[in-house]
Structure 1
């Protein structure tokens, strides 16, 4: 039986992972802009945007880090360098996070290559090289490598920030436009909506001045930034109390000891006390737009704003899955490397020729639950990396389980949502497998099937999970009935 402290630790991963890889990146606004001609930038980037820029990073008013950027002219074009450092408190444990980015552009500001490094629990390096209309990406984490080719519609140019696009469109109240970027976490092309909402007085570095307020929306998450007429960023905000403020380099680099625990801050209060093995749960969901989420289907039934969840009975009447969908949930991906020789070999060793898919799925569940150490981790999990380190939280457990299940021929996917503990719902990840029906299992918490206190919001690989940020701090859950 898992201890309460260990059980709490397992909830840490999903939120921290996306806080670092998405919430922070929203402020940086870096991506590959496919729509604007590179030459257009030459006339809209003022000198104020060149050189060094520094911002302090705050969470609910508490200083937790800093960000710095420098743009340099080189013989072959430009070099854009960026440093981000944060100090977080996670389940009473202090975590240090650092990212270093270097991007190289030609004289037309077209992206030639980039290197991104994440230093945390598991160091990660992402390298990208542009060749023709392809972006060739290599990801390396503690010796585990994965490659991907991103096909681009046009020859890419680096979007230094959304600022050049806004300046090109014109800083005018009411102006709206959409820009195409590369999602920094998934390397997939996405759209970002931008709107200039008006002017407001803003104080930065002791100077009060009028600034344009700009609203942005990316994957359902809203953020704001305040710009001078020349495009200098004075302040940026996201819905979770995350703020960047223009500061001198000396002040920006002063980081305080964090006192706010992220996991506690984003937990959702609940009005009922649930038993550990809840088999049925009825709740009312409010505060969010249900569009784009997967609240209805399988073990969950949504009518209006009332959600019912029933723990699967393993003798339940079987449902069908199309061949197309079955192939989708068996495929090898950049992070779920189900065809990696080590993953395939381990799956065979665990299953030992078991023909019953449900029994095989349980064998894999038992192996992951027993062999992966449960610790909070700030990583972008890859199945091969988890197999090597054998440690992590719900992200790591889930990613490895799904890879092993697929390697054993069992359709599996990642579910993201919330699960209950001691009067709160915490953000969490767990697998779903298809054996005559979709079955939720939890190799992190030790539940097969998972209890009904797991509320699924979405399913999918890393490209879908960023959507979770759009509900953080907004969703409300009211208990109505349980068994």
Structure 2
């Protein structure tokens, strides 16, 4: 086994490409909770949930009549099998509706990790009250302009639409956002399903850029619901219990479904963790969804049309020192509050945050200490969809979502205003869904990223489209921007600037590596590899998840690979660092300065040999099964070094 990423860092690079999976699974679960339920003989109904035609779960509805009310329970189970991991999530939504059709209360139980999130909401004195059982989280109250309509009454309203163009408006509880909202439904036509003619209803919901399509029977009950999503069409279909139970075993979506949510940039950027400026062109595959607002203090829109946006991202550095104990402006108070995800008042979390920052003089220094602790103490686990800070602290695992949740909570615990950010990050030629943290220092919001840390503020090799204090719960993560972006856009790099470097601009296309029989030249990364006679270059165009730059092969099947291996910015790739990594990987440092190369190491391991040379923020790795081949192929290799 050769030298590779540090455990946490290795997971961090992988997790970013799965970020949108975590968020979208929550969105799908809440989408399935938005069913209308009509009164009738069928008091129990089952639906099969599919994504792009693949069964991935079920929805179970139960209608119970009380003395003066109706209770509707909707249970959703979803299972995605991905990369040898079973990701199982579930929700239960229980609503109580008066005999007159008014919504009295909603209880949501959401399980997307080991813990179950519980939200209770109810109407009281003209307000909608939301309560979270998490200690220290205040209840939220929202004035209602009109009473909310219950699911039975919604079904009756939809059943009253008889001609195309008929519309009805009402207020209801929106599971996506977990808030009340105004809904407009329109009958747009009819569709034959088997021998039945179903009414096709488009329901326009707040927070969603595209309507939810319901295909209902004459009683207003859902037979089919549809909504486009990043992984394809999300659909629930009325079924029997046997079919729904079988669907609960889950499904494995094709690789193309996941690859469609990642953005190939066509370029391997040099030193992406040191980027100070990045300019991107984004193209929308479905302009009808619209664009989110990209503008922030360090990100701005340069050009925008319905299907094209040019975004410029700058790396913002601290401009002033602020004592850790300084007062926080009242306007930033929301960014210090505890909530269902950020359990800032948890004694164990507060104690940890204070111990980590005990030697910090100012807020920025404290923020970097917290970032380093999270980066070094969490490990990657794609089976976690979305967990609270207390659960992350206990289990110390998750995707970049959990890294960002814990870091944001730790910052707030020591009095640093912090918010959660969703966007895309660059890694190995790709832009993939990601989450990170921003802290407020002086007059600025500064990005820090425990999943892919940089030396100082988070690099500019990313762009954001959602900033939130998370005080509104996980519903804030399901807002329009996520649906507008994930799986809906393409990206191209136009320009960049590395720290202490010049602006590199390519308005037409970034030049690809030059490859001939015995020569590989990547002018963007500054690599020239001249091969001996009989060798040729292969596999020079791979992107994530591969960190392979290029490989050299010979007719006798011998192969030598050039790879890039990153490490934490606070680590230095010297002899001591290599020895610690080698011990973890059953490898030994065979020689320092091999083949006459200074600042290089030859490492022997189970698969052969690695020649390692330090580069910007990481190591160049030349790997072969034979030592003599490394010497032969290293002779013609010129690399940018640290």
1:435 to 438, 441, 452: 441
Alignment of 1:61-100 (within 5 A): 61-75=53-67, 77-100=69-92
Contact 2:86/2:383 (<8 A) preserved: no
Pick which of 359-368 and 83-92 moved more.
Answer: 83-92
**What is the aligned partner in structure 2 of residue 282 from structure 1?**
279
**What is the aligned partner in structure 1 of residue 43 from structure 2?**
51
Contact 1:105/1:158 (<8 A) preserved: yes
Contact 2:201/2:216 (<8 A) preserved: yes
Q: Tell me if 1:215 matches 2:202.
A: yes
Give the drift of 1:5.
Answer: 5.5
**What is the aligned partner in structure 2 of residue 465 from structure 1?**
477
2:214 to 203, 208, 225: 225
Give distance in 2, aligned partners of 1:243 and 1:229.
20
Give the drift of 1:171.
Answer: 3.4
Give distance in 1, aligned partners of 2:142 and 2:279.
44
**What is the aligned partner in structure 2 of residue 29 from structure 1?**
34
Q: Secondary structure at the match of 2:139?
A: strand
Pick closer, same or farther for the CA change 1:386–1:105 going to 2, 3 Å.
same
**What is the aligned partner in structure 2 of residue 295 from structure 1?**
294
RMSD of Structure 2 on Structure 1 (CA): 3.3
Q: Tell me if 1:128 matches 2:90.
A: no
Pick which of 279-288 and 335-344 moved more.
Answer: 335-344
Contact 1:13/1:395 (<8 A) preserved: no
Contact 2:115/2:391 (<8 A) preserved: no
Runs of 4+ in structure 1 over 6 Å off: 289-292
Give distance in 2, aligned partners of 1:84 and 1:386.
24
Contact 1:150/1:188 (<8 A) preserved: no
Give distance in 2, aligned partners of 1:295 and 1:441.
18
Q: Secondary structure at the match of 1:406?
A: helix
**What is the aligned partner in structure 2 of residue 248 from structure 1?**
240
Pick which of 305-314 and 103-112 moved more.
Answer: 103-112
Give distance in 1, aligned partners of 2:90 and 2:227.
20
**What is the aligned partner in structure 1 of residue 225 from structure 2?**
236
Give the drift of 1:438.
Answer: 1.9
Q: Tell me if 1:444 matches 2:451.
A: yes
Q: Secondary structure at the match of 1:279?
A: strand
Pick closer, same or farther for the CA change 1:155–1:114 going to 2, 3 Å.
same
TM-score by length of 1: 0.84
Give distance in 2, aligned partners of 1:475 and 1:481.
19
Pick which of 20-29 and 149-158 moved more.
Answer: 149-158
Pick which of 408-417 and 222-231 moved more.
Answer: 222-231
Pick closer, same or farther for the CA change 1:127–1:296 going to 2, 3 Å.
closer
Contact 1:117/1:123 (<8 A) preserved: no
**What is the aligned partner in structure 1 of residue 401 from structure 2?**
395
Pick closer, same or farther for the CA change 1:112–1:209 going to 2, 3 Å.
closer
Pick closer, same or farther for the CA change 1:47–1:216 going to 2, 3 Å.
same
Q: Tell me if 1:271 matches 2:266.
A: yes
Give distance in 2, aligned partners of 1:149 and 1:301.
33
Give distance in 1, aligned partners of 2:345 and 2:17.
28
Q: Tell me if 1:116 matches 2:108.
A: yes
Contact 1:136/1:150 (<8 A) preserved: yes
Give distance in 1, aligned partners of 2:40 and 2:121.
28
**What is the aligned partner in structure 1 of residue 520 from structure 2?**
none
Contact 2:268/2:429 (<8 A) preserved: yes
Pick closer, same or farther for the CA change 1:162–1:422 going to 2, 3 Å.
farther
Give distance in 1, aligned partners of 2:20 and 2:412.
25
Pick closer, same or farther for the CA change 1:80–1:286 going to 2, 3 Å.
same
Give the drift of 1:351.
Answer: 1.0
Pick closer, same or farther for the CA change 1:325–1:364 going to 2, 3 Å.
same
**What is the aligned partner in structure 2 of residue 172 from structure 1?**
163
**Runs of at least 5 residues in structure 2 that lack an aligned partner in the other structure:** 304-308, 323-327, 498-642
**What is the aligned partner in structure 2 of residue 190 from structure 1?**
181
Pick closer, same or farther for the CA change 1:315–1:110 going to 2, 3 Å.
closer
**What is the aligned partner in structure 1 of residue 415 from structure 2?**
409
Deviations, residues 245-266 of structure 1 (Å, cap 9, x unaligned): 2222222222354243564342
Give distance in 2, aligned partners of 1:186 and 1:342.
30
Give distance in 2, aligned partners of 1:272 and 1:393.
25
**What is the aligned partner in structure 2 of residue 311 from structure 1?**
315
TM-score by length of 2: 0.64
**Runs of at least 5 residues in structure 1 that lack an aligned partner in the other structure:** 32-40
Pick closer, same or farther for the CA change 1:212–1:265 going to 2, 3 Å.
same
**What is the aligned partner in structure 2 of residue 37 from structure 1?**
none
Give distance in 2, aligned partners of 1:338 and 1:27.
31
Give the drift of 1:127.
Answer: 5.0
**What is the aligned partner in structure 2 of residue 351 from structure 1?**
357
Q: Tell me if 1:455 matches 2:442.
A: no
Give distance in 2, aligned partners of 1:353 and 1:291.
47
Pick closer, same or farther for the CA change 1:64–1:52 going to 2, 3 Å.
same
Pick which of 73-82 and 451-460 moved more.
Answer: 73-82
Give the drift of 1:324.
Answer: 4.6
**What is the aligned partner in structure 1 of residue 634 from structure 2?**
none
**What is the aligned partner in structure 2 of residue 18 from structure 1?**
23
